Structure 1
Amino acid sequence: MNAHTESELLALATSLVEEAADLIRAIRAKGFETQTKTDSSPVTEADTAAEAHILRGLRAATPDIPVVAEEEVAAGLQTAVAPTYWLVDPLDGTREFAAGRDDFTVNIGLVRDGRAFLGAMALPAYHQIYWGGVGLGAFRRDSQGEQTIHVRKAPADGLSVLASRHHADDARLAEYLNGRQIASLGNIGSAVKFVRVAEGLVDLYPRLGPTMEWDTAAPQAIVEAAGGQVTQLDGTPLVYGKSGWKNPPFVCTGSL
């Protein structure tokens, strides 16, 4: 870790998600097949190509930092929890990607001492890049240029909420939202929901269904750098290094 500043690590992750987004767009343009993994989740050439590119870049630049990546874990590679490690989801929202929808992301997060410390995300279909970390701020780059992002104060007329597309009918969501003043509720796939909170477009993203650490580390770091929070339902921090890399239910909030 001493060989790399935090800004250098964040710049590395940001560069790699941008390059992976280019690969994913090229694969989408030429066409691809969707296969099914042993856990019944889908995987495509875009997942594997993006992960291979990211892993080469991280391991070449930071050989001292272990990497935990979704497709390697799915293939049976076991990586021990370390004080500092990378978490990689090369294509979060494969179902969205395979269905021709636009809400999918590339996520690279860095965990330090059990907390999401910094992260970078690409939204390939939107040509948007997000990055941020503890003490580093949160940023977006798109066709309009680069700017700092921040969560917004919740509007007086109620909260704008985004929830999972694939768990839209979960009765726990209605129960969780009961008693809150809700102005709008939308359902989309992938970690896109986090950055919409981080940039102040929505106020709340409750996640009551299953997720993995590589789904959340990068976006959590960005949200928290933008002034928001990602916590378990009881308000305690969402932490990392858990058994099987599995997350409990959590909620992502702006300035409520």
Structure 2
Amino acid sequence: MINFAEIISVCTDVINKASSVVLEFYNRPLATVDYKADHSPLTQADLRSNEIICQGLAQHFQWPILSEETQDNGLRQNSAFVWLVDPLDGTKEFLAKNGEFTINIALIENNKPIFGMIAVPVLGHIYYAAEGQGAYLKMGGKRIRLMCSQNTRPEQARLSVSRSHLDSLLKNRLECSKFQNFIPMGSALKYARIAQGEAEGSLRGAPLMEWDIGAADCIVREAGGCITDFQGNDLQYNKKNPIHNDGIIASNRLLHAFFINLVQQA
């Protein structure tokens, strides 16, 4: 049986340590940036955060780890459990110094997320959820239960949209729709806002890696929301190719069918 209390304790410890190191780099006047094969930026903050989290998890658990910054040896596919780690989600936001970057950890069991944690280093906030136990925000010594918005009216919906990954076709469809309130947001913060009841939806047509969305998937669901692909299918994890290619819709659940219909017309 999964000991969620231990998982929450260990993950809180490692994500706080990683956040402290990331903030040290963030507060420096200049950052050294390399670029990966896909042309995405890579900083020393990414690498140090990855080292802290992966080592911390490995000290307490035997499950394999799939991380954005670690070579995938494929052994994870033989395991019912696997960690997903994004040590710095929103490197572009980190470099722009707008604070909209996160650290994401998820635990997958049999292809679905059963635990998720998202840290926002600049704010000192930690969002987390465990299957069947609800979703929470830890801030300033308080623990707040997260609940998605109960709004059912599309014209009043607040959409949390990516600053850098909103494809032109989807953008055109949104601009022609009833939506008035767009909230540009980087990283997994888009989904945290939905879990917090501060947005009703988020749509993404561009491909997304499993480590980018796994933690948010668990948190949004435990807050009463929903995350699927553009066809309304639940996302599958620990696939051989760990990428979601069929779009992402996150919502407060009450407007999910509307969003599916919207993107299928795009």
Match of 2:105 in 1: 108
Q: Is the 8 A contact 1:173 1:208 kept in 2?
A: no
The answer on 1:97 being equivalent to 2:94 is yes
Superimposed CA distance per residue, residues 101-154 of structure 1 (whole angstroms, 9 cap, x where no aligned partner)? 211000000001100111111011122111102112111112372211110112
Following superposition, the deviation at residue 162 of structure 1 comes to 1.0
Name the SS of the counterpart of 1:120 in structure 2. strand
Q: Is the 8 A contact 1:7 1:136 kept in 2?
A: no
Aligned length: 250
Q: What pairs with 1:223-238 in structure 2 (closer than 5 Å)?
A: 223-238=220-235
* Amino acid across the alignment from 1:120: M
Following superposition, the deviation at residue 14 of structure 1 comes to 2.5
Q: Which 5+ residue runs of structure 2 have no aligned equivalent?
A: 255-266
Following superposition, the deviation at residue 169 of structure 1 comes to 5.2
Q: Is the 8 A contact 1:195 1:222 kept in 2?
A: yes
Following superposition, the deviation at residue 239 of structure 1 comes to 1.3
Cα distance in 1 for residues equivalent to 2:224 and 2:9: 20
CA RMSD of aligned residues (A): 1.8
Cα distance in 2 for residues equivalent to 1:209 and 1:94: 17
Match of 2:264 in 1: none
Q: Percent identity?
A: 28
Segment drifting more, 24-33 vs 45-54: 24-33
Match of 2:36 in 1: 37
Following superposition, the deviation at residue 49 of structure 1 comes to 0.4
In the superposition, the TM-score normalised over structure 2's length comes to 0.88
1:239 to 227, 236, 260: 236
Superimposed CA distance per residue, residues 30-59 of structure 1 (whole angstroms, 9 cap, x where no aligned partner)? 343111112211010110000000011000
Cα distance in 2 for residues equivalent to 1:128 and 1:154: 25
Match of 2:258 in 1: none
2:124 to 119, 123, 127: 127
Match of 1:71 in 2: 69
1:83 to 66, 73, 80: 80
The answer on 1:18 being equivalent to 2:13 is no
Cα distance in 2 for residues equivalent to 1:130 and 1:24: 17
Q: Which 5+ residue runs of structure 1 have no aligned equivalent?
A: none
Superimposed CA distance per residue, residues 202-224 of structure 1 (whole angstroms, 9 cap, x where no aligned partner)? 00011111210000111111111
Segment drifting more, 28-37 vs 128-137: 28-37
Segment drifting more, 77-86 vs 13-22: 77-86
Match of 2:192 in 1: 195
Segment drifting more, 38-47 vs 10-19: 10-19
Following superposition, the deviation at residue 255 of structure 1 comes to 3.7
Change in CA separation of 1:177 and 1:238 when aligned onto 2, cut-off 3 Å: farther
